[in-house]
Amino acid sequence: MTRKRIQIKKIDNISSRQVTFSKRRKGLFKKAQELSTLCDADIALIVFSATSKLFEYASSSMHQVIERHDRYSAIHRLDRPSIELQIESDSNNILRKKVEDKTRELRQMNGEDLQGLTLQELQKLEEHLKRSLTNVSKVKDAKFMQEISTFKRKGVELMEENQRLKQVPSLIHAHSYRQSSESILSNSSNLPEDGGSNTSLKLGLP
């Protein structure tokens, strides 16, 4: 019959928790002592209880073990930059290689450094240049048609502007004629209505 496994969780009862802590702590220190004796290991344990009470065990000297730990940590921290520098150096080398490859490809596209290429590489470069030339021609044609469309639109706008300018003198003449007509009619309406009868009377006297 298999033994039922007990779930590890926090003990809610304070008294039971303190008893269990004391028993487990003693067992932990005993296991550490046995490990140090059997395997000649340098061991240090630091335990704080729930009430902040300190318990410690050291196979030799707590101070010596802590100093040894600090020296190891310092050496490990010194090793990490070296590893990081190595990684950075590798990344720089990869980036430099990519730049060199791209520079060589550009030189070959300009017709330089072609002697070291195989026939297959030359054919591949030729096909690439043909595709590039086709793309350049398409873009050039599109730009050309766009400029033609712009010129046509500006031509239409200029023609419309010329038509408007041609109509300006006619409009000015019509406006002047209308103002003159209005002025004549206004002056005629201001003449005296009996002016003609007075003249005829004067002419009839001996």
Could you report the per-residue pLDDT of 159-196, keeping only the tens digit for each? 888 888 877 776 676 666 666 666 665 655 554 555 44
- When pLDDT is averaged across residues 66-76 and rounded to a whole number, the result is 81
Question: For 5-14, 24-33, 193-202, which range has the lowest pLDDT when averaged over its residues?
Answer: 193-202
> Could you tell me where the DSSP H helices lie in the chain?
14-39, 62-109, 119-189, 195-203
Angular region, 113: left φ>0, alpha ψ -120 to 50, beta rest: left
Percent of the chain with pLDDT over 90: 16
From the number of C-beta atoms within 10 Å of its C-beta (0-12, 13-18, 19+), residue 43 rates as middle
Q: Provide the pairing of β-strand 54-58 with 44-48.
A: antiparallel
The whole-number pLDDT of residue 1 equals 55
Res 158 pLDDT > 80: yes
* 118-125 long-range contacts, CB within 8 A, separation 24+: none
| pTM flag (> 0.95) | no
As a whole number, mean pLDDT of residues 128-155 equals: 89
- Per-residue pLDDT for 29 more than 90? yes
pLDDT of residue 97 exceeding 90, the answer is no
Residue owning tokens 């350049």? 136
125 CB-near residues (< 8 Å, 6+ apart): 108, 109, 114, 117
Question: What value does the mean pLDDT take over residues 30-45?
Answer: 92
Average pLDDT, the chain: 79
Task: Give the list of residues 6+ apart from residue 33 with CB closer than 8 angstroms, or none.
Answer: 57, 59
